[in-house]
A and B are shown apart, each in its own frame.
Chain A
Amino acid sequence: MIAAEHIKGGPQGGLIASYKGLLRQKVIFFFVLLALLGVLAIYAIAAGTYDLSPLKIIRALLGYKEGAAGVVIWNIRMPRIAAAIVAGWGLAISGVAVQCLLKNPLASPFTLGISHGAAFGAALAIVVLGAGAIQSSVLRTTASSLVFLENLFSVTFFAFLGAMVATLVILALSRVKRLSPGSIILAGVALSSLFVSGTILIQYFATEVEIATIVFWTFGDVSRSSWQEIGVMTAASVIVTFYFVLNRWNLNALSSGEDVAKGIGVEVEKIRLWGMLMAALVAALVTAFHGVIAFLGLLAPHIARRMVGADHRLLIPYACIVGALLLLLADTVGRILIGSGTLPVGVLTSFMGAPLFLYLLVRGEGK
């Protein structure tokens, strides 16, 4: 945490200088976090049941054929690590956005029911449209790749539709009915359980294989994605992050209140609608490929805010990196501790996120 309060303007017009100094510190600390992520990623590649020497890892990463070690690195560990980083980043940017756009510190894709909406949509695609092949992608052969792409598209599309339904309901309740932030979260809980029930209903009609495909969504998991899925997710995260970076001043204005924002010329309604769509899109993709990863979109923005403050110029990159770090850390810890590598990362993010959620709830009540 950077202690902003203790830095004051110097005697002779040093206010701008100390302001810039503070900004510089925060930028430097961002690169420290980035380096930390890099170190953690390398550790995560090395750690696991199959022993890999650092030399082998470096050689494999540089493109040398390393036989079995290369297969383990490129086909098993790297996709999992990349998926954790991108999913964490995507959920974090989504969380930052919805918290600001709805002016609700408890908001996140998970607590608003957007994640469960996406999971329901994806389940629908798998069972009704038979898009189940997507999850066994590791075992996929090249012959099935065309079918795979089709499935990838339909699962993604339906997940997005599900997420959109939840998003539009939440938007309508908060904008038209003007529900309080706490009530919005209750609405999110109601939506979530509705979507979970829908998903269970779909399972009732599903084959055993389809059920197995659906069930892992109960707790999100980053271990099954293919490079194509990671590619799609990365593209979405980049676009959505860029959109919010473009709108960083508008987000700052919105976080200061709707009237303030309008008073400085922000087109509030337009940005809120587009922003919610963008946030839902990236959360939908992450959920379609990795299931419901609980609380990460809530945790990352709050941790980032404690580090860097509420200025979205810095909060956006910080939250993204913290999200990536958190999810990779949770996944790696789960993988190493349990050993078998089968503990879904969503279990760990729930253990981290639920206490924070309760804390925020209690703090909000106290005001």
Chain B
Amino acid sequence: MMLSIAGLQFNYNSHAVLRDIHLELKQGQILAVLGVNGAGKSTFLKCINRILRGKGGSIRLHGEDVLSMKGDEIARHMGYVPQRYGEEELAVFDAVLLGRKPYIKWKAEERDLQIVETTLKQMALDSIAMRPVSTLSGGEMQKVILARALAQEPDLLLLDEPTSNLDLKNQLEVMGLVHTAVKGRGLSAVICLHDINLALRYADRFLMLKDGRVHTQGDRTAVTPEAIHQVYGVRVVLGEVQGYPIVVALNGNGGKPVNG
């Protein structure tokens, strides 16, 4: 098992944000974490790579205890793409080179530079490698952040809303790159997503959070109209168009606010 989490709990000022989270994820699988705003999706992601320290529970990567690892060691195993990233003035090459930081002792070695070059080329970012990140478009920026996470040579990718603020083409491009990386390199990924359609299209496993607890977990069959209604408070129909699974909301306000 690539990643196994049991009994994870996280409190924020005595308020329980996450309660008794459990999860099993195999190599090559993409897990979509779904739920309304404030359900604890981002917190969950940050607990996995210990940006936030959960209370109790265990997180194991390849059977090894993540909670007792050093920061550098975690970063060599998990690449994290945060939701809101600060404005970066670094050039693209340097921004991606930062992904090698967990490996760099004093200076960047030839191997580090080669990994950056390869990653940039794979993601078609090589033509803008010397430009400051702050001058890029939203889609390019997101790809740079993803490239940095991949340059960490992780086993596990953690992505927090990688497609928010992106147009349709860029959404598909970024998710496509994640999909290719996970399947091609034999990684696993945990992705927080607002867009259920994107989740259905790219993910193998689904975890629906409600009020900090696991509501539903499983493969595509776990994502039922009932589960979505219970988690989001919106009635939907699930269908298929030209082989792609889709979800369509029926009513916007089933008595509860609509988020997500």
Contact = CB atoms under 8 A, between A and B. Distances in A.
A255 B132 CA distance: 13
B101 A264 contact: yes
A267 B98 contact: no
Interface residues of B, number: 49
B151 to A, nearest CB: 10
A366 interface: no
Nearest to A249: B101
B90 A264 contact: no
B90 A4 contact: no
Nearest to A315: B89
B8 interface: no
A355 B119 CA distance: 42
Interface of A: 4-5, 7-9, 13, 15-16, 18-20, 22, 103, 249, 252-253, 255-260, 262-267, 305, 309-311
Contact of A309 (B73, B91, B129, B149): B91
B51 interface: yes
B88 A256 contact: yes
Contact of B51 (A5, A22, A262, A305): A262
Interface of B: 46, 49, 51, 70-76, 78-86, 88-91, 93-95, 98-99, 101-102, 104, 110, 113-114, 117, 120-121, 126-127, 129-132, 135, 145, 148-149, 152, 158
Contact of B117 (A15, A257, A264): A15
B95 A256 contact: yes
A19 B88 contact: no
B89 A310 contact: yes
A88 B55 CA distance: 48
Nearest to B42: A259
Contacts of A264: 75, 80, 98-99, 101-102, 148, 152
Contact of A310 (B70, B82, B90, B158): B90
14 contacts: A8-B127, A9-B126, A9-B127, A13-B117, A252-B90, A255-B86, A259-B51, A259-B82, A259-B83, A263-B149, A264-B98, A264-B101, A265-B72, A311-B91
